[in-house]
Chains A and B, each alone.
Chain A
């Protein structure tokens, strides 16, 4: 077994782990990050994409609210290309306690969450589809975030500073010598090779899987996986994030992101972060809740449903699961459990990932005698090769609670904020409309090839990079095209036609899993057309005897398969 030495081993390639790797590398510490799937394979890639203003937590979890409000501004400065400045509303519907509005505003002030009440008329002018029976509207600095792109960009920065990012590497065991963790054994899922990693410290950033990792070192960390189910609708029927003005509950938020609107979420405790399903009741409940915000919401075409597991950390002194805060916690296992050489960072939100990384790395740096300051809040992230080097700057918000921040961010002249017309504008500028591989999401051939060249390990990875297959047709055309491009591009370096076939079959199945919960109406019709294409025209079902995992593609491995037990 090959053994490699490093200063810090980060476990987990979500927002937090990747953020930690970047911070560590920027401070000059030798860092290896291992992730069992692709980056964002866990919870980061399965959330609704809300850049929190903090508004959702002002009452129940004020510390989280304050952290979100601060990080919201930081992220706008360092990753504008990943964020859309949608703004956000908290609205009082006829089903909500009218008294909560005043409590909400008071608590926003207490926690430092910028807020401004606007008239219902002003709200309806901006978002005419909202329920006219809404009685009060509070505007906050919500936004939407592309968590795939943000994590890719963070990882790219980490690599530029010398970190090694190993995706599709699964932790088989942590090595413990006496009361000290000295490293880990990881397996490369692409070829089964086992590699030993010796390190001064392990940073466990495995999110909902943090308990599983900690137990490998004989340490108990109780993470309660809280499953949240979301539904993407095939229309971006509004351009502002809308929350119900009440304590956070199921189905109370709609986030416009890219070309869709996502309604979320449920919150169901599941025993194992790898085993969960999506219940039909959850979907029906959320669509019905959507109707309260947007009359007729449930009649829009549902695109797809998915679920992620929140990494809720249960402290030893918390008796009731309902009291678990959404804030994060850094566990120093030397102090807590008498086990040296390992820290766990648990809980938290996507919006606060950078702060979580900063605090974790501060603690680690102290331990390793590194005194360099954290600079992750100042230095902007680089753009991955799949991104257009866009020059157009969308108009800057001039009203509402986010106006002053918008001006401040614009003055930095970093990359422009994401805006809905971005990809279309670039396609028009490049005249590449005749070379789109995924028409639904306007992913051009050059971007798909850039994702392949950047090391995507299967079609699902390419999807996370360029959103191919995420639109209304759910891959009817682009799965075939992308498979063929993958073969053409990588056929010379060991990717066989059998591996390509397997990639296609794997991705078809991955799409199906998220479709089944929402298959009725037009989306069922679409699924049937896709069946005609893949069975009746392409004969993909007949490729099974000549399909095989390999060639650097990970298409079927129990370590990364999330088992939807019911759909």
Chain B
């Protein structure tokens, strides 16, 4: 051992930690993108859907938002296989995260759409726009400005929730770090290092969000 055992071990474990980081980024990115697409449709359904659609979507969002993500991930891991859907731990975790993301984004979209004054869509109708034209050109651009800040918040939540995948055996950044700690017995520095990486990821997401907000803000 030299004077800097942590730096030595960090260098020795760079492959394992980079693999973990890669998995964390991959699963978070996929969950955010797919979950946001799902959430967009959920939000539209909650706002404009008929009674049955609204009831079904309400059940989905209430159920998911009312249970811990942790339980959701375990449920995807243990319950999907016995219903005949065979998944890897990564897939099960991804499904859990994207369902979580979808329910939150769904509520964000619904809130943003309902916050737009009625007169806007009425004005759209009055000049002869179809529903989809009205939605794309009148409502969505206004809703987007409302959605962005809370959506960025939801995205950072997903990155943080991805640590829970370590429990079902996905070697993401946290589990990769724990594996290195168990071998080297250097606890605190490695945990701090992992924490710094999570912070860097979320800080980057927030900066990206700010940039997007400036782009879409009205002059």
On whether the two chains bind one another, the answer is: no
Q: Which residues of B contact A (CB under 8 A)?
A: none
